[in-house]
Structure formats: C-alpha cells, structure tokens
Amino acid sequence: MRIAQVGNVHCSNMIDLNTLQLPELFDTLVRNEALDALIATERDEDLGDAGDITSKSLIDPSQQCQAILLAKANGVVAGLEVIPDLQKQFHTSIAWDVHTSDGQSCVSGDTLAVAHGSMRELLVVERTLLNMLCHLSGIATLTRQYVAKVTGTHAVICDTRKTHPGYRALEKYAVRCGGGTMHRIGLFDAALFKDNHLTLLPTGQLAEKLQTAIRSIRQEHDTQFIEVEVDTLEQLQIVLSLPESLIDIVLLDNMNVGKIREAVTLRDQLAPGVLLEASGGIGLETVRDIAESGVNRIAVGALTHSAPALDLGLEIISEDVHDASG
C-alpha cells in the first residue's frame, strides 16, 4: 500500500504501510495531532469541569498503588502503543511495565502490563485506557480469526472504511495487529469506482467513461491503487477488457462462490495481472470457501464495525512499593 498523506502525517508515496512493523506503523499512521485530539475528547467528556469527584472525596492525593492490566478472555492485543499518548493527554506520571506487545496473543489470566503510581491518576485514566484497548483488541482478535480461516490460500483479509469517527487510523492499525491487510485509508489515497459512481452510466459507455476517469486520476494524483466494483460478470468482462495497466483491482460485490469462481476464470483469461477482491456480507462461516475460489483479497467490514470488545480489566492489587529510581 502506497500512501501520500495520512491525517496530519505526510509520507513518501513509496511507503508501503502494509509492510511496516507495528511500532513503525503506529508512529506513521496513528501518532499525530488527530490522536491527541481523540484522547483529549475522551478525557474531557469523562472528567467534565469537576474531574473525578469520587476519587477526590475518598483517596488521599499522595496514595500510591500498583495495578495490573489483565486479560479476561483469549484474544489478540492491540492498543498498548497508545499508553504514552494517554499519559501525555491525562498529565499522569504513572510508570508502566508492559509485559507483551501489540499483535501478540493472550489468554485469560495473562498480565499484559503493571502500573505503579498515583491511585487518583490511575483511576482517572482507567476508563479511557480500557475503552480503547478493549475495542482495538477486539478488532485484532476478530481479524486473527478471519486470517486463520484463509491460511493456505492466496487471499488476504482486508478492512474497509466502515470505521468509527476519529478511530479510523487506530482501527486500521488494530486490523494489522490481527494479521489483516489495510485497504485504502480514505477517499483521498486510492480510487474505488463503486456502484453508485457507475449506476447512471449506460453499459455501452462504461468502458469509455472509466478510461477517461482513470487516466485523469493517474495524471493528477499519487494513488495506492485504482479499483472498480462490478456486480455482474457482464460488467466484469467490460472492465477486464480495458488496458490492463489502467486497473489494479476489481471488486466483486455480493457474488456467491459459484459466480466468484467464474469471475476468477474470466480474469485469468483476460487480465491475469488484475487482482480480484470479494466483498459483501462475508462471515467466518463462508470466508474459507471464498478464499479457495482464487480471489486475491477479501474485504470484511465487520472487522471494524462489528467486532466485539475483548474483555480486559485494570485491577489495583496493592500499595505501591515500586522504586522508580531503581
């Protein structure tokens, strides 16, 4: 995946985000002013003007504690990289000993990290920390399940733009933590001609109009890829008959496995260099059959819009005996 700009981060158009190691990907894709603003929003909606009135009423400001970040279910961890940013936006000085890393599997009962510091500060940041980590780890866990289902085929599992406001970069990072492949980041970095773009075009004008539009994009923009969605094999034949250098990917929308196999055969005959991507209501029970059809990519919106949160907890276990200077 090549990309010219991600949020507030400007990158070389030769950067392939899907090949970056996770820490580098986080710094490139996520760690910017947008992340600071997201955390600040979550902080402010939780603390309001008065702050944590419960902790203030009960806990001495000098009270130190030790707490553990605990996995309460099996899954894949994602979001630990955000802890330093949470520290900065919440103005906390808690010391974190992180025992694992994003992208690693966990089982129920695993200690993911140990925190030492002010009990008040820990309770202030607790909910936002868990909200983010549980959500992102849930995405990584579901992605890993899809990836496991297609092991041994030539298909990769991709995300979509079906993300939550403010969370797109984080959610796509979480997909990578689960072993998935990021699709385009937004409307700005790749061109995808979907059915709503093409629906009013007469079939006889489809090839001509697409060629003109694609050549315009390639002249004016650096893009990850050019992709065209088709609903029928007739549309597919028209698209595959275009000069092969114009199109990188064809999206097969809501086709059953039989139609997808026919599409693969047609692609192999007309334009073997074009990738095929299947999309549309693909679940864990059907993804293997689709992968075995010969497609290259499978896009799954559920990875980001429907992944259940992974159950994690933050539990205070003792007064702090940690010597930060040691």
Q: Which active-site residues does the annotation give?
A: 127, 162, 194, 229, 253
CA–CA gap between residue 242 and residue 248 (Å, rounded): 11
Q: How many CA atoms lie within 13 A of 305 on its CB side?
A: 10
Residues 305/298, Cβ–Cβ less than 8 Å: no
Q: How many CA atoms lie within 13 A of 121 on its CB side?
A: 21
CA–CA gap between residue 300 and residue 297 (Å, rounded): 10
CA–CA gap between residue 215 and residue 246 (Å, rounded): 7
User: CA geometry: angle at 119 spanning 117 and 122, to 5°?
Assistant: 80
Looking at 223-272, list the stretches that DSSP marks H as alpha helix, in order from N- to C-terminal side: 233-240, 257-270
